[in-house]
Amino acid sequence: MKVLLLGAGASVPAGYPPAAKLLDCLEKHALASPKEDVQKAWSSFRDFRASACGPVARILKSSNPEIVLSLIDLYVAAKETEEQDWWRSLQQLGQQEGASASPPLRYPTQADFGDAVSALRACVTCIEDYFYCLHYEDFDSQGLANVGYLKRELQALREGDVVITTNWDSLVERVLMQNRLWALLQ
């Protein structure tokens, strides 16, 4: 059995940006998009990044989406944990005899977490639209003409081989399907 590991740069020769330039490409795409929802999504994501300060701002202003989205995921997880703790505390108060009518707790608000949930959704919206457009262009113009290097590498695969990819795009998967290798390798 052969295991083929294709890193994030595997799609660069076909014209896809490396991860370190993906957010810059997303911004250009969103600002030029005729879709109002994509423009608004980017604006929301950009505003979230711009509102941060200190070390958090430095992380959110990284050009690497994996770093930026990881931090936002941590914000979302913190928000969920805070809400769960709040509900648990409220339930404990309700079970105590003579509990006061209003709990001495403050419910966490979206502002406590910089609207991280909305920013995450906005960024994902932009990523989905960007790759949808790139994938459409792949098939609309010359097909997958710029992927000869990838086709050659993938044609050496046989039944039982495994392909692992860490790419943001689905270029490898689409080349496998085009060459009728997708089902063979599943």
Phi, psi dihedral angles at 35 (to 5 degrees): -85, 115
Percentage, residues of the chain above pLDDT 70: 82
The pTM of the full predicted model, rounded to 2 decimals, is: 0.73
- Domain edges within the chain: 3-185
pLDDT at 142 over 70: no
Please tell me the least confidently modeled range out of 12-16, 146-150, 179-183: 179-183
Name the least confident of 11-20, 44-53, 80-89, 173-182.
Answer: 80-89
- What pLDDT score does 81 carry? 81
Q: Name residue 162's beta-bridge partners.
A: 3
CA angle 79, 25, 56 (to 5 degrees): 30
